[in-house]
Amino acid sequence: MHPVIILGSFLLAPLALAAPAVPVQLQKRTPVGIPTTTDAKTQLAAITVAVQGSQDGYDRDLFPTWIIQSGYCDTRETVLIRDGTNTVQSTACASTSGTWVSPYDGETWTDASDVDIDHMVPLSNAWKSGAAAWTTAKRQSFANDLTDPQLWTVTDNVNSSKGDRGPEDWMPPLASFYCTYAKAYTRVKYVWALTITTDEKAALTSMLETC
């Protein structure tokens, strides 16, 4: 009997040592922890408004990403499994096929190399809004957060266009996603006690009005 990998709340199909890949039977999921519109507005009002701190000292390596979550599955592969449909994993947990819909632009992809795992609140933004004072261990937890709506499977070039910009400078191409984007962004900032700027708050408030 082959071993079964338990990945959080996900159950992966048994690993067949002789097979190069195994299908993953999962119900399609989205990031957890997205608040209701009412809760998001309450949380937004509770976030400290402050001028962004300095970028000095920032290095992406200070936010270790894609740590192992279970077995061979790192954070990236875990999110691909969570967000994909009919995903197939190799015995090393690499996504060899599946279907992913990018919520930022509504595009559908069948090759994992066409999608990125985006941090809803960019790591650079987090650094300037409080994370510079964190330990590396806490920054690692933030960069690999599967409990809050921080990690999203999105089209790679859309993620590149977003870069490290917040909602005051960048919004998803798909206007119908503004509501969810604002709720998720607000939730992450609130849970991690990060500050927001006046412009960030104004942009989030505007997008929440589309809900």
> Per-residue pLDDT tens for 9-61?
343 443 333 333 333 333 345 789 999 999 999 999 999 999 999 999 999 99
Mean of pLDDT values over 167-176? 97
pLDDT for the residue 30: 73
pLDDT for the residue 36: 97
pLDDT greater than 80 at residue 142: yes
Q: Per-residue DSSP letters for the chain?
A: -----EETTEEPPPP-TTSSEEE--------S-PPPHHHHHHHHHHSPB------TT--GGGS--S-EEETTEEHHHHHHHHH-EEEEEETT--EEEEEEE-TTT--EESSGGGEEEEESS-HHHHHHTTGGGS-HHHHHHHHT--SSTTEEEEEHHHHHHHTT--TTT---S-GGGHHHHHHHHHHHHHHTT--B-HHHHHHHHHHHTT-
Mean of pLDDT values over 87-111? 96
Whole-model pTM: value is: 0.86
pLDDT greater than 80 at residue 186: yes
CB 172 within 8 A of CB 104: yes
Mean pLDDT, the chain, rounded, equals 89
Domain range summary for the chain, segments of one domain joined by +? 6-208
d(CA 128, CA 50): 10
Please tell me which residue, 136 or 31, carries the higher pLDDT value.
Answer: 136
pLDDT for the residue 29: 55
Q: Percent of the chain having pLDDT more than 70?
A: 86
**Residue 78 confidence class, pLDDT cut points 50, 70, 90:** very high
